[in-house]
Amino acid sequence: MTDHATTARPGAAPALPAPVPDPPGSATAPAPDPHPAPAPPGQTAEQVRDRLVRGAQLAVLLVGVTTQLTSCLPQLLANRDRFGAWWTEVVGFVVLAGVAATIATRLLRSRPMSRPLAFTLCGLCVAAAALASIPIPARLLLVADDWSFGIAGWYILAILLRTRMRTIAAVFAIHALVTVVEVLLKGVPDRYVTVQMGMVAVSVFGLELAVALLAVVLHRTAADAGEAAEREERTRTAEEIAEATHRDHRARYTRLLDTTVPLLTGLAYGALDPSDETVRRRAAVETARMRQLFAETDDVSDPLLHELRAGIDVAERQGVSVQLAVRGEIRPVPQPVRQELVETAAAVLASARTTARATVVRTPAAIRVSVLADAPAEGAAAVDAQRRSRTETTTTTKNGKLWVEAVWRTKSP
């Protein structure tokens, strides 16, 4: 006969955190929670990269705007009566100015551009450049009289600096292609003019692509800088945890005086009978507490594990052999969450008959504490009955095994 049931229980709705077992009259003031939810790894790197690339984008935009005002604007005015249909140049100029304004607003407000918007703006740049060059005769395309060619490239670069080099090159290729088509439609000029055009195109794109390459280097530097910042952050967190644990340690040491000392005095003066079951249970609990306290002098930075070990200790005292396996780096866990995780595990450990396997898996996305024990299936009900607001539990029973996992998710899956 096998009975199996698998239930996933998200934390019970807005329940208050279960009361903390600390006596309220504790001598020391409650320490501020030393374990704030950590930023997921990689986030710092992301932020650093964001700031660096944003700066580069602003710089490129500034180059573009300066070029448009100091070089393109005078040329536009000079072209007024030269080629006819001057309005197309004006429209092109205004559109490009509009694109620049859009980029500037986005960058200054630190609002990232969606891909569709970015590509629309690039399309506008190419179109505006083409429009502005319509009245210009083929032999003057790309040279100074055709002011719109280079400026469009700068704005495209400012928009796409965040994307991969390949994307930037592709948009530049489209821009170049449009110009080539325009030259073909207007009639290919003399060979020396064409060569000159090619040289202008190469120098303009060359400069712009060089800047794009710099951005690639910037990306890499940003990743390194981010990693360094994260390392530093981890060290700081570890230091803070150590200090908070030390405070907690002293508080608990003081508390021992209230519980252990009366027990010892009771035993010493014969007021308590060692053969009494309750006295023995009390002694076991006190030993577990003291052991935990002594162990913490070795490794103070892993409160979750230490609290779990206390539960394991109690189970071992009842003759259960417990295997503990831990994976993943130490991560700060807020005290209430820790309490829920440990209480769930302790409940299963307490109901184990002979063997249990406790595991802790810590990843950036979640902390999972699991206990598998040869425990009666009724144990599942007891676990489910516990109030939780921060963690989720999953219970599975099969072939006389009870397996409960408590998960604290720091990132949605």
The contact set with another protein (CB under 8 A) reads 4, 6, 41, 323, 325, 327-329, 357, 359, 361-364, 368, 370, 372, 394, 396, 398-399, 401, 403, 405, 413
Nearest Cα residue to 103 out of 46, 42, 57, 153: 57
Cβ atoms of residues 293 and 256 within 8 Å: yes
Do strands 366-373 and 355-362 pair parallel, antiparallel, or not at all (unpaired)? antiparallel
CB of 406 to another protein, least distance (A): 11
Task: Output 70 or 399, the one with its CB closest to another protein.
Answer: 399
CB of 366 to another protein, least distance (A): 9
Task: Output 242 or 325, the one with its CB closest to another protein.
Answer: 325
CB of 118 to another protein, least distance (A): 26
CB of 167 to another protein, least distance (A): 22
User: What is the b/e burial string over 346-368, where b = at least 16 CB atoms within 10 angstroms of the residue's CB?
Assistant: bbbbbbbeeebbbbbebebebbb
- Write the DSSP symbol of residue 72: I
380 Cβ contact list (under 8 Å, min separation 6): 5, 7, 395, 397, 402, 404
Question: Partners of 373 in the beta sheet?
Answer: 356, 402
Question: Partners of 69 in the beta sheet?
Answer: none
Give CA torsion, residues 173, 157, 204, 63, to 10 deg.
Answer: 160
Task: Output 42 or 112, the one with its CB closest to another protein.
Answer: 42
Task: Output 80 or 231, the one with its CB closest to another protein.
Answer: 231
Task: Output 4 or 115, the one with its CB closest to another protein.
Answer: 4
CB of 212 to another protein, least distance (A): 24
CB of 413 to another protein, least distance (A): 6
CB of 52 to another protein, least distance (A): 19
Distance CA 153, CA 200 (A): 13
For the chain, how long is the longest CA-to-CA vector?
A: 116
Residue 9: φ, ψ to 5°:
-125, 110
177's tokens: 């292609």
CB of 398 to another protein, least distance (A): 5
Cβ atoms of residues 344 and 310 within 8 Å: no
Task: Output 182 or 343, the one with its CB closest to another protein.
Answer: 343
264 Cβ contact list (under 8 Å, min separation 6): none
Helices (H) and strands (E) in the chain, counts: 11, 6
Task: Output 135 or 364, the one with its CB closest to another protein.
Answer: 364
Cβ atoms of residues 124 and 69 within 8 Å: no
Task: Output 154 or 408, the one with its CB closest to another protein.
Answer: 408
Task: Output 71 or 355, the one with its CB closest to another protein.
Answer: 355
Work out the burial of residue 231: count CB atoms within 10 Å of its CB; fewer than 13 is exposed, 13-18 middle, 19 or more buried.
exposed
Residue 409: φ, ψ to 5°:
-95, 130
Residue 154: φ, ψ to 5°:
-60, -40
CB of 213 to another protein, least distance (A): 23
